[in-house]
Structure 1
């Protein structure tokens, strides 16, 4: 026999009791820990990107420091226009040819003709952009290479310079 509900009140069922006991009232610990894991991962990724960016900027600043020329290390200086696709192609081939050389064997510098320092450097040697100037450790010009060249063409010149 079924119980009748009192007037004005709904009948109680077993289903209502069991579902009410299983529903948490507030966010549980598992959800909180999941959010914290995502936040922690985001912080690690952001920190790594910042570190990579800072190192990249420092490397570019060091490459453009022409005062390093003649400090005892043979040097390849590229007279470069950063907006020139031919210059960028030469830079890519030069970097590829320089792989395997240590910083104490051969250094790479960039004379950016968009800067005053880069313009005066190129003017001093009378060369246009898309040019590589090879200097010995004392800063004496040894060889001038104009135009885009493949890494395989550049490598022998770099090896002679590093000796």
Structure 2
């Protein structure tokens, strides 16, 4: 009997067990541990930064929709807005462009969404549809109404004038 036949016979009989394979995981070294801790710290910083940005973004949106700020001493532009209307979105973009460089202490920009009860009531109080800008002085008196699409170049001097009058 050859050696190979003998091994085969022994395996059939179940007398011999094959050696257990060792796991192929490398040993955890200090360098590897510090690398993983670095990635963990980076992940925590990324999620933390995203959380802070998200919180500030939500706060800014809430402040922009707070219509009780009209008449609080700062001239205000209120856009009557439908978030599903492409013309409203274009007006919002042009309004924001015109407001660049104007400090919020000089002129507020607020949004009255007609999709909310408060925004719809606000628009109804002044009898205006969406795609409209209402310009208020610091005491909350309506000074001007701009209906329809507007270009930033047209809006900028109007906003600057409103800000100076207060």
TM-score band w.r.t. shorter chain: 0.7 to 0.9
CA RMSD, aligned part only?
1.2
TM-score (norm 1): 0.83
Displacement of 1:147: 1.3
Asked whether 1:64 is paired with 2:65, we answer: yes
Displacement of 1:25: 6.3
**Counterparts of 2:26 and 2:56, CA distance in 1:** 48
Asked whether 1:157 is paired with 2:129, we answer: no
**Counterparts of 1:25 and 1:63, CA distance in 2:** 55
In the TM superposition, 1:1-163 aligns within 5 A as: 26-163=27-164
1:68-97 deviation digits (Å, cap 9, x = unpaired): 100110000000111111111111111111
**Counterparts of 1:99 and 1:25, CA distance in 2:** 57
Number of equivalences: 140
TM-score (norm 2): 0.81
Displacement of 1:26: 2.0
**Counterparts of 2:119 and 2:160, CA distance in 1:** 26
**Counterparts of 1:139 and 1:42, CA distance in 2:** 47
Instruction: Look up the SS of the partner of 1:76 in the other structure.
Output: strand
Q: Where do 5+ consecutive residues of structure 2 fail to align?
A: 1-24
